[in-house]
Structure 1
Amino acid sequence: MSKKHSFISGPNINPEGNQYCNEHDENFIYYCMECETPICKMCVIENHKKHDLSEITTLTDIYKAEVERQITMKLDKLKRNIMAIDQGTNACQCDFNAVIHSMRKEGILSVRGKHATKLQTLQSIGNAFKTVFDKAEEQHKIYQDTAQTTETSKLLLKLKQIKLQIADEEVKQLPGMPSVNYVINRAPTGELEKLVGGLTFGETVRREEKKLRHNKKMLADVSDTNFEDHVLGHVGRICPFCFNLLENCTDEDFQRHVNQHLDQTKTVVTQKDQ
């Protein structure tokens, strides 16, 4: 095996993988760290006197422990990540259901579209973790089969190969879990900007239960910090008089629309007084 962890041939290595040196007909008892090859005691004297040597059985035990530790850590981390994705998906589903039931009919289609986008992203990330998890389990099985090998020199080479494969599969960090909330509040008279709100998404939303009151006005306040950058837009504004959804509506347009309703209301009241 070379320093790049690829298998090489040498004059003292038996091609059939036996545990003895072809050149000296001696058992391998050392492993040369510089040449990365098992050697016998005669090889030490002839070619490896000043090289960094390790007993082959000791080095094999070290690699076995390291491979077992790395595989176990990877499997545990992947299990936690998959569980967190599943829990985040379920929590996100509950949040979306609560929002859908709280909003007016005009906003439901918009919420469902954003809902599908978020769940699709979570499922894609979860599938990626599951793929890496399956590979790690396969590596674990290969390791268990390899650990049964009685030929220590052959076992050591295989363990080094498995260790390199484990390092190639990186376990990525979990993304921020999305959440969504919808809050209905009473807005003081004249504060029209608090009559409506936008629906956005964030990783942390305070969950507060508030009693519903008569003629409450709508205010949605959620923030998006890490999960996606500006993926979802404004849900629109809902008129508190006609309950129509006014999409792409500026503050001036919304104020003008509401004033029209107020003027109509004043006209009706004046006619009744007369």
Structure 2
Amino acid sequence: MGDPSEVSSDPLMCGLCHKRYNDPRILDCFHTFCCECLEKHTHNAHSKVTFPCPICHLEITIPKTGIKGLKQNYYVRAILASATYSTNCKCDTCKENEQQAHSRCLECNSNFCKPCNTRHMKANETRDHHVIELSPQEAKSITKLTHRSFCEKHKEETVYYCILCETPICKDCVTKVSEHKGHRYKNIVEGAKEKRSKVKPMIQSMHEYLPCLQDYLNELHSTKKLLADYAEETVNEIKSRCKYLQQELQKICNSLVEGVEGKLKTESNRIETHAKTIENTLRSVSTITKSAEEAINLGSDSEVVLMCQKLQNRFKHADKEIPQVGLHPAVSSNFHVGESHGSNLEEMFGSCDTTEIKLPMLPIPWGLRIALNFDVQLMYNFKVANHIDTIHAIAPLSEKEAWICHGWGTQEMNLYSREGEKLRTVKLDIQIDDILTKPNGDILVSSYDDKKIIKLDGDLKQTDFVHLDLYPGGMTYTKRNELLVCAVDSYVTTRNSRSRRMIIRISEAGKIIDMIEDDGFTAIFTAPYRLHENMLGDIVVSDREEAEVHTTTITLDGFVKNKYTGQKDYRVKKPFNPFGIVSDKHGHVLVADWSNHAIHLLDLSGQFIGFLITENYGIRGPNALALDKEGYLWIGDTKSTVWIFKYSRRVENNT
């Protein structure tokens, strides 16, 4: 048998025999192998109770009936059956065998026309069989995999999902005395939909990560070849010098060559060992993802409900299988020609030293970690304009409403419901930069054109709140009942020795308390844009400095605690470009990355956790961020679209 860690592009190929699956059996780790291959694999196993998966080495329990007792992978069997389907297939049950086959039973290995299939699915002995429907118009494509699940106790079809037990149940389980009596339950279709929504982000994250892992593996092989090329060139130089200095230098030559080749062997072996680990991880994660995708897409609702927890746990285990660090730089040899008139042969011949060759960076599967740790759900999204505009301010008014401003230079702000209904429009006599709603219902609006902040009361009556000598921008209201405002003397995102860039503290009465401009020695900001108070009472600011955009976390005393310049440990499409920023009640800091169409998630210390939301949802250029009273995240992008998400850290289930 071949090496199961070898990566194959054929999703229907067994990792042990490297042939198309024959009687495929799916393990608890969601890797699939031929039944016969598994029997051979476990024949010489030390334990007759368990065996390690040939790919990920997870211990698999052997059923009492042996390997044949392992669950058949009907999803793979369905795909294999569709691959051999012919539009000329006839029903195997009709006497004349003239009816066109409509479906195929995987247990019976028989084709059926529609009437025969109906009878087949109603018969007690075959009602739980797996049946695929095939489309004559699109040969070799599965339109549906049908499998009805029945309660072992009541022999009735499972049409409900017990929320407490996380298992499919039948009507009698709900109405009669049983272990599920009194439990909360829902329709099995709704339960399966909920479980699919939990697993699909994990599958999507793996789809995003697999190309990165494959690229990393390719770069490792390329670097290994580069090492060999350098070594070969160095060896040739050494040998050429050896001939020039005649036969008596052969001993020195051989010694140096052996040193170079020894170094090459050591480094090549190191890279090869790491590459094999990555190959095995790539194969393991790829097949897990494929098996999970097949199970979720083709499995019945009951099966999806049953396997969801296993899938979640399996993806967690897969995350631990992925290496967390790459290799330190490889060491290559260089040859230096010796002096023509050296004092000894070694000096005349030359010597070798080493040069570091940078190895590729190991990509981090951030998407999987976020998918494992957080439930993220898109609740609503809607357009605020038919043309393309940037939404630069969102200020939630209540649990389900928010003031929204779009289009730089506009004097208009609109009140929208979560569902996208425009409830009210207010036209002001100033250009709007940012909007803020205070706990008492008052609304504050900053105007960079007029260098002031105005206040709107509950009746939307306008009064001046504070006049400034600088251009005000982003605002936040603190637990101390103070207003903090980003302020600059110029909207040019570079500064000189005379530039004024700061955070201004303003009292409840509209009086300036302090200007946070430097730490006592050095200027802190270049172009502060938006800010928010985190759970510790520190202020997190997005700074739009051209040379190095970043977020800065400071105390109200001007002490800089942290600067975040974007994620450096894995490859992103474009440099970090922060705009909107908020902090939630759990201590997470969320930053809108305009260039990468993503929302960064940071902890209280400013360390990167992962990307909570990416462009896969369709967001383009996120700018404005806001959290309403229920913790829903509102995002305004550059395409006149508002996105509203519900997110929470997933509760670990240790049962």
- Structure 2 counterparts to residues 1-274 of structure 1, below 5 A: 18-19=148-149, 27-32=158-163, 34-39=164-169, 43=174, 46-49=181-184, 55-103=190-238, 105=253, 106-169=255-318, 170-172=321-323, 173-180=325-332, 182=334, 184=336, 199-200=353-354, 202-204=356-358
Displacement after TM superposition at 1:184 (Å): 4.0
Higher strand proportion: 2
| Cα distance between partner residues in 2 of 1:24 and 1:134 | 40
Displacement after TM superposition at 1:150 (Å): 4.6
AA aligned opposite 2:290: K
| Cα distance between partner residues in 2 of 1:77 and 1:183 | 36
Structure 2, unmatched stretches of 5+, are 1-127, 129-146, 242-252, 340-346, 360-655
| Cα distance between partner residues in 2 of 1:96 and 1:182 | 8
CA separation of 1:86 and 1:119: change in aligned 2, threshold 3 A: same
CA separation of 1:182 and 1:24: change in aligned 2, threshold 3 A: closer
Displacement after TM superposition at 1:99 (Å): 2.5
| CA contact 2:148–2:300 (8 Å) conserved in 1 | yes
| CA contact 1:139–1:162 (8 Å) conserved in 2 | no
CA separation of 1:135 and 1:50: change in aligned 2, threshold 3 A: closer
CA separation of 1:59 and 1:49: change in aligned 2, threshold 3 A: closer
| Cα distance between partner residues in 2 of 1:20 and 1:185 | 81
CA separation of 1:140 and 1:71: change in aligned 2, threshold 3 A: same
| Cα distance between partner residues in 1 of 2:262 and 2:337 | 25
Displacement after TM superposition at 1:74 (Å): 4.5
CA separation of 1:183 and 1:150: change in aligned 2, threshold 3 A: closer
Displacement after TM superposition at 1:168 (Å): 2.2
CA separation of 1:70 and 1:171: change in aligned 2, threshold 3 A: same
Displacement after TM superposition at 1:65 (Å): 0.8
| Cα distance between partner residues in 2 of 1:110 and 1:127 | 25
| Cα distance between partner residues in 2 of 1:109 and 1:119 | 15
Displacement after TM superposition at 1:130 (Å): 1.2
CA separation of 1:159 and 1:80: change in aligned 2, threshold 3 A: farther
CA separation of 1:204 and 1:125: change in aligned 2, threshold 3 A: closer
AA aligned opposite 1:202: E
| CA contact 2:231–2:264 (8 Å) conserved in 1 | yes
* Counterpart position of 2:392: none
| CA contact 2:159–2:169 (8 Å) conserved in 1 | yes
Displacement after TM superposition at 1:56 (Å): 0.3
CA offsets per residue over residues 197-220 of structure 1, 9 Å max, x none?
663453449xxxxxxxxxxxxxxx
| Cα distance between partner residues in 1 of 2:181 and 2:305 | 23
Partner secondary structure for residue 168 of structure 2: strand
CA offsets per residue over residues 121-177 of structure 1, 9 Å max, x none?
211211221122222232233224323435212123234323433332321132134
Higher helix proportion: 1
| CA contact 1:30–1:39 (8 Å) conserved in 2 | yes
| CA contact 2:150–2:158 (8 Å) conserved in 1 | yes
Displacement after TM superposition at 1:85 (Å): 0.8
| Cα distance between partner residues in 2 of 1:144 and 1:36 | 20
Displacement after TM superposition at 1:86 (Å): 1.0
| Cα distance between partner residues in 2 of 1:199 and 1:186 | 13
Displacement after TM superposition at 1:114 (Å): 1.3
Q: Which protein, 1 or 2, shows the higher relative CO under an 8 Å CA cutoff with sep ≥ 6? A: 1
CA separation of 1:97 and 1:138: change in aligned 2, threshold 3 A: same
| Cα distance between partner residues in 1 of 2:202 and 2:329 | 31
Structure 1 vs Structure 2: percent identity of aligned residues? Answer: 13
* Counterpart position of 1:266: none
| Cα distance between partner residues in 1 of 2:304 and 2:212 | 27
Displacement after TM superposition at 1:82 (Å): 0.9
* Counterpart position of 2:31: none
Q: How many residues align?
A: 185
| Cα distance between partner residues in 1 of 2:185 and 2:158 | 20
| Cα distance between partner residues in 2 of 1:24 and 1:113 | 69
CA offsets per residue over residues 189-240 of structure 1, 9 Å max, x none?
xxxxxx77663453449xxxxxxxxxxxxxxxxxxxxxxxxxxxxxxxxxxx
| Cα distance between partner residues in 2 of 1:31 and 1:50 | 4
CA separation of 1:37 and 1:58: change in aligned 2, threshold 3 A: same
CA separation of 1:100 and 1:124: change in aligned 2, threshold 3 A: same
| CA contact 2:161–2:185 (8 Å) conserved in 1 | no
CA separation of 1:29 and 1:66: change in aligned 2, threshold 3 A: farther
AA aligned opposite 1:175: L
| CA contact 2:330–2:356 (8 Å) conserved in 1 | yes
AA aligned opposite 1:97: E
CA separation of 1:98 and 1:116: change in aligned 2, threshold 3 A: same
Displacement after TM superposition at 1:117 (Å): 1.5
TM-score normalised over the length of structure 2: 0.24
Displacement after TM superposition at 1:69 (Å): 2.0
| Cα distance between partner residues in 2 of 1:118 and 1:141 | 34
| Cα distance between partner residues in 1 of 2:352 and 2:336 | 12
Structure 1, unmatched stretches of 5+, are 1-15, 188-194, 206-274
CA separation of 1:28 and 1:163: change in aligned 2, threshold 3 A: same
CA separation of 1:60 and 1:117: change in aligned 2, threshold 3 A: same
